[in-house]
Amino acid sequence: MKYELQTIPVWDALRKEGECPICNLMQAAEKDSLDFYTGSSVMNPETRVKVNTTGFCPHHLQLLAESGHPQSLAVMLRSVVQQRIADLEKPFSAICSSKPGRATDKAISAFADSVFEHEQGCLICQRMENRLIRYCYTVAVLWDTDVEFRHVLEESKGFCLHHFVRILEISGKALPARTRAEFIHSMAMLEKKGLLHTADDVEWMTQMYKSENDGKDWNGCEDAHIRAAYRMIGKGRIDDEDNKQV
């Protein structure tokens, strides 16, 4: 599979402040996807079929519903609800006609499977995962081919732990084994340094709540608790584990 490089967005994200450049890129990717599905694309027959069959996870359907595009969502959801009614016809008649006892439980269980299975698919999660792969791939390629990028990256704060792992995984698609080993070593050192920095910041934040430190300088650690949380799990991250395509 050929991966498309995303040099300019990755460079731009690396130059921005924050705990993780990939988190920043993924927040933009989510916004782009929401715009796509609230725009004129919902009228496209091909998109409509995909929306009806795959749909959206609860997180993204909620964001779409609250995005302030009532007309687009009404058009989209009209056919989604009709499709769901058709899909659920059998499970509905099973729960209504089953005999009391175990048959009822079985029918409810089949109905639940149908509902929960549908919640697993998500067109926005899929689009975001495709972008994530390209961004992680680009980080590895630029580290190998652009001296300036390597320098800026190695002097940066690194990544959130979630995206650090994804970059290491995807680097296998971008680099030959020997170069990859060097890249992984470099990223591991960077990540450890970033984590230690986060730990120092949170430590100083806790110290600042002690009376003996009244009047001392916060050293920019007023929001260390938030940055520590982002460092652990990523900022605004959705659970994309089900959509891995690597």
Site string for Zn ion, 204-243 (x = CB under 5 A): ------------------------------x---------
Residue 141 vs 160, nearer CB to Zn ion: 160
Helix and strand numbers (H, E) in the chain are 12, 0
Nearer CB in complex with Zn ion: 105/223: 223
Total residues interacting with Zn ion, rule: CB under 5 A: 11
- C-alpha 208/C-alpha 109 separation (Å) is 53
Q: How far is the CB of 44 from Zn ion (least distance, A)?
A: 20
Residue in 67, 37, 63 with CA at minimum distance from that of residue 50: 37
Q: What is the spatial distance between Cα 107 and Cα 97, in angstroms, rounded to a whole number?
A: 9
Q: Which of 234, 232, 228 is nearest to 205 (CA)?
A: 228
Contact status: 125 vs Zn ion (CB under 5 A):
yes
Options 57-65, 76-84, 178-186, 200-208: segment touching Zn ion (CB under 5 A): 57-65
Helix (H, G, I), strand (E, B) or coil at 178: helix
Q: Which x/- pattern over 101-120 shows residues binding Zn ion (rule: CB under 5 A)?
A: --------------------
233/223 Cα distance (integer angstroms): 16
Q: Does 57 bind Zn ion (CB under 5 A)?
A: yes
Task: Output 74-77 pairs: Cβ under 8 A, ≥24 positions apart.
Answer: 75/42, 75/43, 76/37, 76/42, 76/48, 76/51
124 lines the binding site for Zn ion (CB under 5 A): yes
What is the Cα–Cα distance from 181 to 40, expressed in whole angstroms? 45
Nearest approach in angstroms of CB 199 to Zn ion is 18
Closest to Zn ion by CB, 34 vs 122, is 122
**Amino acid identity, position 7:** T
Listed residue (138, 150, 152) closest to 15, CA to CA = 152
- Asked if residues 232 and 161 have their Cβ atoms less than 8 Å apart, the reply is yes
When asked if residue 122 is in the footprint of Zn ion (CB under 5 A), the reply is yes
Site for Zn ion in 15-34 (CB under 5 A): 20, 22-23
**Shortest reach from residue 219's CB to Zn ion, in Å:** 24
Q: Smallest distance from the beta carbon of 83 to Zn ion, in angstroms? A: 18
Q: For residue 51, state whether it binds Zn ion (rule: CB under 5 A).
A: no
C-beta closer to Zn ion: residue 220 or 236: 236
Binding region for Zn ion (CB under 5 A) out of 136-144, 157-165, 175-183, 205-213: 157-165
Which residue shows structure tokens 């920019």?
A: 220
Residues that bind Zn ion (CB under 5 A): 20, 22-23, 57, 60, 122, 124-125, 160, 163, 234
